[in-house]
Amino acid sequence: MTAGIYVSIILFAPVVAFGLLAVAAPIRERGTLAGWLVAAATGATLWAALALFFGQLSDPQTLEWTIRWMSGGSADFAQVGWRVDGVSAGMAVVVSLVALCVQVYSMEYLADEAPGSRGRYFSWHALFVFSMQSLVLAPNLLQLFMGWELVGLCSYLLIGYYWRKPEAGKASLKAFWVTKFADSFLLMGLVVLVAATGSFSWDLPAGLSQGTITAVAVLLFIGAMGKAAQMPLHVWLPDAMAGPTPVSALLHAATMVAAGVYLIVRGWPVFEASETALTMMVWVGAVTAFSAGCLALLQDDVKKLLAFSTCSQLGYMMAALGAGSMAAGYFHLTTHAFFKALLFLTAGSLIHAVHSNNMSEMGGLRRTMPVTFGLFIIGAAALAGLPGVSGFFSKDMVLEALSHDAQWGPLVLCLAGVAVTAAYMTRAVLTIFFGEARGAHKAHEPGWRMLVPMLALGVPSLAVGLFVGDFQSLVGEPGYSATEMLSHFIGLPALGVLLALIGFGAGYAEFKGTKLPAPAGLGDWLRSRPMDRFYEAAWNRAVLVVARGVAWIDRYIIDAAMNLVGWGALAGGDYSRRIQTGRAADYMWAIGMGTLAVVAYGLLGGS
Amino acid sequence: MSTVPLQAWMLLAALIFSVGLAGLFTRRNAVAVLLSVELMANAVNLNLVAFGYHRGDLEGQVMALFGVALTVAEIIVGLALIILMNRTHKSIDIDSATELSG
């Protein structure tokens, strides 16, 4: 089966590269060589993924292969393998393409690092590509969960890449704990699912009670919220920007955080069957889409701005899924992966040139960095949903899905989010590229290893929206084609663009120094990170108090019982060992008297 | 041939056994302890012969012969142990060997 060969290449090329780098220190210590090795493996992955993808385009079908991994209650209890259909083939292409771009980009971006630590960096990249692809191609929720945890591990390792910086260490731990907290719900959902159905499959058997389905769907959704940084579990994503910028582009914008959305796309039969989970999803998504966008307005650090923007866009995907349109959520995931990775890479290019993350230290860069400027504009236009660019089509699909499902509250929030998105991107573009140059730096365009990946991402960021019709047939959900969408340019798309224009205006006015009407003190309150403070307080007041109680019980009840047993054994032994005098006469007495006692028993009363 | 009654032999054997037992409990010289053990063993042999005679066959005497052979072997082992004890403890006082003490 040819699909099997392609899947083997997708999965084994990166894992072999990782194993080689893990074992062969001489290759790893030569950082550039390690980088090219990993990039070659990812290139092979991309080639195989494209082969699968075009196979699916010409002949859509579901190919599946599984092997029993553990025996359990029923024959298909735990299986591993792969499943190739329109959804997974498309995602595999996105993952490998973005990963390849980011890896080539990293070679120049991290050129100043020690070769050994670059080798370490690239070996984690290889592990990430393997983990993400095994998640994407998973045939059931068990393998998806394994890939899910592995990408979480890679995220932890890569955020903490600059481990000498204390904030990087803290951020990696925070990302780990917050996502693990959500993952524990995901695991509970899996346990409930297996207890009810006896398998990890997302195709639910008939006759399952509605309560069980809802429990599974809601628990899985909480897991997805953690990974996709949805409110109120978004707090880890802005901090995760402490990692290298290419990592932020790959893991924390394009692919790993999108795994949260991908879980819902993959487990669609489960979520579709639960009205409660869908309602929760649409509201969580819409609230995140709007409020994370507002938080992005307040940022000066360009990476944090993009991080909040990622939260906000993931919110759009969740809202679309919650409104019942799997295709809209998944399509926005795809376009967002390209344009947000592009934005992060261009931001990295800026940071590389300016040596600062802060937009207030940039300014006037359109003259010194014209290519970066152009690419940033493309990314920003896609993000803001300018007509014709990829983000326009996907965001419009999201809005259409919301209005089609009559979700008016979330629709209003998402439309407001469109204006906010346009405002913060306008503000970013104007602050970074226009006005006077600030800071004592000599900005310059990066070299080809950074420019080529950016250009390679620029093309799909512009154009992928035009293939919306093909995309929908790939997913198997009918909708409109690109021309249809542009032709009925009245209604929601026009409203979206109008709101985006209002956003542009607001951003421009703010740049020009006009004070916009806003409640006094709100900005300061939001900048003080109220959610983080809430979690800290909850941690100190609840978790630590409970932990202290548990520690007391552990020490004074459980340990005390164990110590009592030990002490009793010791004391008893110490007492009884005194019988053993070691004098032969005493033993003889014992034997003699014992014999007498037995005889006396026999004579007197024994039977 | 006058016959001594069986009870008399048993009484004699019990007497010899008790002497041996008393020696075992009271003597501290290892050789004397070994002698006491021998007394007890021979009291049993005496019983065997007496019962055999009473029954009028040779089984008891055969058993006693085995018993004598056994006690000879036991004496050899015991004496070897006493010599060893004398080497290690410079004494054959049985109370001086308390290595089994707990």
Residue B71 lies in a domain: yes
More confident residue, A198 or A13: A13
The answer to whether A269 and A202 are in contact (CB under 8 A) is yes
Interface test with A, best of B89, B98, B99 (most A CBs within 10 A): B98
Q: pLDDT at position B47, please?
A: 92
Nearest 10 degrees: Cα torsion A108, A111, A112, A116: 150
pLDDT at A73: 60
Closest Cα in chain A, distance from residue B94 (Å): 7
Of residues A37 and A526, more confidence is placed in A37
CB distance A583–B25 less than 8 Å?
no
Within A250-384, residue ranges assigned H as helices are 258-266, 268-272, 275-297, 302-322, 326-354, 365-368, 370-384
Rounded Cα gap, residues A191 and A127, in angstroms: 27
Closest residue in chain A to residue B94, using alpha carbons only: A584
Main-chain dihedrals φ then ψ at residue A477, nearest 5 degrees: -130, 115
Largest Cα–Cα separation, chain B: 58
Which residue is it, tokens 């089994």? B100
For residue B83, tell me if it sits in a domain.
yes
C-beta neighbour count of A212 within 10 angstroms:
16
Instruction: Kindly indicate the confidence band of residue A258, based on its pLDDT and cuts at 50, 70 and 90.
Output: confident
Q: Of the candidates A578, A582, A588, which has its C-beta nearest B24's C-beta?
A: A588
Give me the pLDDT at residue A591, please: 87
Asked if residues A323 and A404 have their Cβ atoms less than 8 Å apart, the reply is yes
How buried is residue A10: exposed, middle or buried, by Cβ count under 10 Å (0-12/13-18/19+)? buried
User: Is B11 inside any structural domain?
Assistant: no
Residue B67 lies in a domain: yes
A541-to-A179, A534, A537 alpha-carbon distances in Å? 21, 10, 6
Residue B61 lies in a domain: yes
Q: Of the candidates A242, A328, A252, which has an alpha carbon nearest to the alpha carbon of residue A285? A: A328
More confident residue, A319 or A529: A319
Q: Are strands A63-70 and A78-84 parallel, antiparallel or unpaired?
A: antiparallel
Nearest beta carbon to residue A579 from set B33, B97, B102: B102
Reply yes or no on whether the pLDDT at A503 is more than 90: no
Minimum-distance CB partner of B100 among A582, A588, A589: A582
The verdict on a CB contact (< 8 Å) between A579 and B99 is no
> Directed axis angle between helix A468-475 and helix A31-58, to 10°?
80
**pLDDT < 50 positions in chain B:** 1
CATH of the domain at B60: 1.10.287.3510
How does residue A72 score in pLDDT terms, banded at 50, 70 and 90?
low
Report whether A263 contacts A142 (CB < 8 A).
no
Q: How far is B3 from chain A (nearest CA, A)?
A: 30
Residue A77, amino acid: F
| One-letter amino acid for residue A188 of the chain | M
What value, to the nearest 5°, has the Cα angle with vertex A597 and ends A594 and A603? 145
- Residue B78 in any domain: the answer is yes
Helix (H, G, I), strand (E, B) or coil at B93: strand
Task: Determine the residue among B19, B21, B24 to mutate to test chain A binding: the one whose Cβ has the most chain A Cβ atoms within 10 Å.
Answer: B24
In whole angstroms, give the CA distance from residue A351 to residue A451.
14
Condensed to tens digits (0 to 9), the pLDDT of residues A450-479 reads 878 888 888 888 787 777 777 777 776 666
Subunit contact A589:B25, Cβ cutoff 8 A: yes
Q: How far is A574 from chain B (nearest CA, A)?
A: 9
Whether a cis peptide bond, with omega within 30° of 0, leads into A232 is yes
pLDDT mean over A162-178: 85
Query: Can you tell me the mean pLDDT for A577-587?
Result: 80
Chain A partners within 8 Å of B24 (Cβ): 585, 588, 592
pLDDT of res. A295:
83
Average pLDDT over residues A526-543: 75
pLDDT in tens, A126-150: 899 999 999 998 888 888 999 999 9
- Chain A: give the shortest CA distance to residue B76, in Å: 19
Q: Which two tokens stand for residue A62?
A: 């579901």
Cβ neighbours, 10 Å, residue A594: 10
pLDDT at site A400: 80
- B21 CB neighbours in chain A (<8 A) are 592
Residue B76 falls inside a structural domain: yes
| Number of domains observed in the structure of chain B | 1
The whole-chain average pLDDT of chain A stands at 82
* Displacement of CA A36 from its chain's centroid (Å): 25
For B76, the domain range is: 28-92
Report the pLDDT averaged over residues A174-201: 87
Domain boundaries, chain A: 534-606
Q: Quick check: helix, strand or coil at residue A95?
A: helix
List of residues 6+ apart from A444 with CB closer than 8 A: A353, A368, A369
Chain A partners within 8 Å of B98 (Cβ):
581-583
Tell me the H-state helices in A162-274: 166-197, 210-227, 236-239, 245-249, 258-266, 268-272
Report the DSSP beta bridge partners of residue A79.
A68
Provide the 8-state DSSP code for A557: I
Residue B56 maps to a domain: yes
The per-residue pLDDT for B70 is 92
Residue A469 in contact with residue A481, Cβ under 8 Å?
A: yes
Say if residue A245's pLDDT is above 50: yes
Q: What is the b/e burial string over A300-313, where b = at least 16 CB atoms within 10 angstroms of the residue's CB?
A: ebbbbbbbbbbbbb
pLDDT at A171 over 90: no
The residue-averaged pLDDT of A241-270 equals 86
Q: Tell me: the pLDDT tens digits for A402-429?
A: 877 777 788 888 888 888 888 888 888 8
pLDDT of residue A518: 63
Please state the rounded mean pLDDT for residues A15-30: 85
CA dist., res. B48 & res. A11, Å (int): 88
User: In this complex, which of A580, A588, A592 lies closest to B102 when CB atoms are compared?
Assistant: A580
The total number of residues written for chain A in this structure: 607
The pLDDT assigned to A407 comes to 78
Instruction: Report whether pLDDT(A492) > 80.
Output: no
The count of other CB atoms within 10 Å of the CB of residue A412 is 13
pLDDT tops 90 at residue A570: yes
HEC readout, A456-473: HHHHHHHHHHHHHHHHHH
- Is pLDDT of A488 > 60? no
Look at residue A483 and tell me whether its pLDDT is greater than 80.
no
Q: Do A581 and B98 lie within an 8 Å CB cutoff?
A: yes
Task: Please tell me which of the candidates A577, A587, A588 has its beta carbon nearest to residue B102.
Answer: A577
Task: Name the percent of chain A lying above pLDDT 90.
Answer: 8
Burial of A588 (0-12, 13-18, 19+ CB in 10 A): middle
What is the band of A377 on the pLDDT scale with cuts at 50, 70, 90?
A: confident
Residues of B in contact with A577 (CB under 8 A): 102
Question: Picking from A35-39, A279-283, A536-540, B80-84, which range would have the lowest pLDDT averaged per residue?
Answer: A536-540
Name the minimum distance, in Å, from the CA of B100 to any CA of chain A. Answer: 4
- What's the confidence (pLDDT) of residue B1? 45
Residue A484 has pLDDT above 50, yes or no: yes
Q: Which of B21, B98, B101 sits opposite A592 (nearest CB)?
A: B21
